Amino acid sequence: MFAANFDYYRPATVAEAVQLLSTKENAKILAGGHSLIPAMKYRLAQPSALIDIGRIPELSGIRVEGGKLRIGAMTTHAAIAASADVKAHCPLLAEAADKIGDQMVRNRGTIGGAIVHADPAADYPPNLLALGGSVTAVGPNGSRTIDFAGFWTDLFTTALAPNEIVTEVTVNGYGKGTGGAYADLQHPASGYIVVGASAVVTVANGVCSKVSLVIGGATPNPVRASAAEAALTGKAPTAENIAAAAALAANGISNPIGDSFASGDYRVHLAKVLAKRALTQAAARAQ
Amino acid sequence: MKREVTITVNGVTHTRTVEPRLLLVHFLRDELGLTGTNIGCDSSQCGACTVHLDGQAVKSCTVLAVQADGCRVTTIEGLANGKLHPLQQAFWEKHGLQCGFCTPGMIMASADLLSRNPNPTEEEIRRGLEGNLCRCTGYQNIVAAVQAAAEMMKK
Ligand SMILES: Cc1cc2nc3c(=O)[nH]c(=O)nc-3n(C[C@H](O)[C@H](O)[C@H](O)COP(=O)(O)OP(=O)(O)OC[C@H]3O[C@@H](n4cnc5c(N)ncnc54)[C@H](O)[C@@H]3O)c2cc1C
Ligand code: FES
Ligand code: FES
């Protein structure tokens, strides 16, 4: 299948890419192309111009700074999954990256592209929201930081302005005393999640001092399970306490997505089951 | 707006003027006549089109030829080096194919897997090939072939 015709630009710098994005009619950024090219082949997307940011050196790479990971937007899922720095400072993110698609998809797809695409069934968003951090975006008026909590705004929609480019993703790392886990049910054909639960739990003196739990796949954007977090915070990570908290994991979900494979009710049910698994594993890893 | 691209395929450098929408798989098949790389789907799922781009396995139906400009590509035609590559030999010996349509992609994906993990478990092989679909074999002999190739490559 062929995409509709378009003009192709390959800027060497972020400034040049922003300039092109602002001046070319109906232009789109091309990163790894693993959401955009299939959409263009199906003619669900017909941009008039593609701005390929794949050859801008400063957009790739992973740095550790003050306990945070700073990941260039063009860093591939495979590079994140294999990174010793990510495995050491934020193993949950390496695990999430390694679950995406298959090896060939991970060799091309990028973290910037995945978060901007904002697929409700994508693996990064719930995990990034559970870990905490922010997105750096550059536009004609300079650079700004958008917290993950305000980044995903609707189905396939983000807070990014049409002329802004994501340059970096900053993710909070964690160390001893904290554990992270991601429990998901994958669609058997596509491999995308039906529902996924991401948990980050800190255990100190035998109690959960900090609990972060986010559900993806059930709604257009991932939602924080605040009631479940509050129920477990200050409690010992026992099976009963975790089960009681997980029972509240779908409280923040209204109008769940339903389709021929999984109804909204089933997704709500999955949210609770997967939350229990993720919290249990995260708490075990924290100790 | 056509673009000139220069791509080194199996060690030979080719320059062509192409439409930006031309997929790498069509560049290989239609421009260069390298038809070993197959097209099995429209949804980036089947892996029949797998080639190596700068040493990494990619689905060439989901890469534009212009994105591969200046890069090195290896296809199934470039894998044998005087004699069959151990993976080709092993797919033959273990009967890791029936119709053979998925085989070039299976072999290119397996080569990427073995380069990262020379000693994979059965589980790791199955997971490593999850992006490659086979409608004939039931995968059993494909896994056996990759295991056999891993042994041969150790020698
Ligand atoms: C077979 C297959 C299976 C997959 N399975 C999964 C899965 O299990 N889980 C999962 O999460 N994902 C999955 N994906 C999607 C994959 O993760 C994509 O790589 C990702 O969604 C998009 O990243 P990309 O770099 O390919 O972006 P592209 O496709 O190049 O771009 C996607 C969108 O983001 C915009 N964009 C890209 N980068 C930037 C930037 N830096 N600044 C501003 N805008 C930008 C583009 O304009 C476009 O609109 C799968 C894809 C395929 C083909
Ligand atoms: S042709 Fe099916 S993945 Fe490329
Ligand atoms: S051998 Fe026929 S598709 Fe695999």
Contact B15, B6 (CB under 8 A): yes
- Answer yes or no: do B64 and A54 touch at CB < 8 A: no
Q: Which residues of chain A have pLDDT under 70?
A: none
Residue B92 pLDDT: 97
Domain count, chain B: 2
Instruction: Return d(Cα B111, Cα B113) in angstroms, integer.
Output: 5
CATH number, residue B7? 3.10.20.30
**Tokens 């390298």 identify what position?**
B34
**Tokens 């940011």 identify what position?**
A53
Q: pLDDT per residue over A4-16, tens digit each? A: 999 999 999 999 9
Residue B61 belongs to domain spanning? 3-78
- Answer yes or no: do A40 and B19 touch at CB < 8 A: no
Residue B1 pLDDT: 84
Ligand nearest to the CA of B41: 2
Residue B78 pLDDT: 98
CATH number, residue B121? 1.10.150.120
- The pTM score is 0.97
Of B78, B111, B131, the one marking the end of a domain is B78
| Residues in B touching A12 (Cβ below 8 Å) | none
Of B78, B97, B123, the one marking the end of a domain is B78
According to DSSP, residue B29 is labeled I
Closest in A3, A5, A52 to B67, CB measured: A52
Q: Which ranges of chain A does DSSP label H, i.e. alpha helix?
A: 14-23, 36-41, 77-82, 84-89, 91-99, 103-108, 111-117, 124-131, 226-232, 239-246, 264-286
Same domain, B74 and B105: no
Instruction: Decide: B99 in ligand 3 pocket, CB within 6 A.
Output: yes
Burial class (CB in 10 A: 0-12, 13-18, 19+), A57: exposed
Mutate to test the interface with B, among A41, A42, A60, A103 (most CBs of B within 10 A): A103
Query: What is the C-alpha radius of gyration for chain B, rounded to an integer number of angstroms?
Result: 15
Contact A213, A225 (CB under 8 A): yes
Residue B67 pLDDT: 98
Strand order in the sheet with A49-52: A7-9, A49-52, A27-30
In this structure, which residue's CA is closest to atom 32 in ligand 1? A113
- Answer yes or no: do B131 and A52 touch at CB < 8 A: no
Q: CB atoms < 10 A from the CB of B6, how many? A: 12
Residue among B45, B76, B95, B135 to mutate when testing ligand 3 (max atoms within 8 A of CB): B135
The CATH superfamily assigned to A181-286 is: CO dehydrogenase flavoprotein, C-terminal domain (3.30.390.50)
- Separation of A263 CA from ligand 3 center, angstroms? 34
As assigned by CATH, the class of the A7-52 domain is: alpha beta
Of B48, B78, B108, the one marking the end of a domain is B78
Residue B89 pLDDT: 98
Across the range B96-111, mean pLDDT stands at: 98
Domain residue ranges of chain A, discontinuous segments joined by +: 7-52, 57-172, 181-286
Confidence of residue B26 (pLDDT cuts 50, 70, 90): very high
The CATH number of the domain covering residues in A57-172: 3.30.465.10
Residue A1 pLDDT: 77
Please give the number of the atom of ligand 2 that sits closest to the Cα of B49: 4
Contact A32, A109 (CB under 8 A): yes
A134 dihedral zone (left: phi>0; alpha: psi -120 to 50; beta): beta
- Quote the distance between the C-alpha of residue A54 and its chain's center: 20
Same domain, B60 and B93: no
Same domain, B9 and B66: yes
- Separation of A146 CA from ligand 3 center, angstroms? 47
Instruction: Decide: A54 in ligand 1 pocket, CB within 6 A.
Output: no
Same domain, B118 and B150: yes
- Answer yes or no: do A33 and B1 touch at CB < 8 A: no
Residue A278: both structure tokens together: 């993720």
Same domain, B15 and B70: yes
Res. B99: pLDDT tops 80 = yes
Mean pLDDT computed over every residue of chain A? 97
Q: B155: which residues sit within 8 A by CB, 6+ positions away? A: none
Across the range B4-8, mean pLDDT stands at: 98
Residue among B46, B94, B98, B142 to mutate when testing ligand 3 (max atoms within 8 A of CB): B98
Strands B3-9 and B72-74: parallel
Q: A12: which residues sit within 8 A by CB, 6+ positions away? A: A55, A56
Closest in B45, B67, B131 to A54, CB measured: B67
Instruction: Return d(Cα B26, Cα A146) in angstroms, integer.
Output: 40
Helix B103-116 and helix B140-154: axis angle, to 10°?
Answer: 50
Closest in A3, A34, A105 to B21, CB measured: A3
The type of residue at A189 is: A
Q: A38: which residues sit within 8 A by CB, 6+ positions away? A: B43, B44, B62
Ligand nearest to the CA of A102: 1
- Scanning every residue of chain A, which has its alpha carbon at the shortest distance from the alpha carbon of B116? A82
Confidence of residue B52 (pLDDT cuts 50, 70, 90): very high
Q: pLDDT per residue over A18-46, tens digit each? A: 999 999 999 999 999 999 999 999 999 99
ipTM value:
0.97
- Answer yes or no: do A50 and B1 touch at CB < 8 A: no
Helix A239-246 and helix A264-286: axis angle, to 10°?
Answer: 150
Please give the number of the atom of ligand 1 that sits closest to the Cα of A167: 41
Same domain, B127 and B149: yes
Mean pLDDT computed over every residue of chain B? 97
Q: pLDDT per residue over A99-108, tens digit each? A: 999 999 999 9
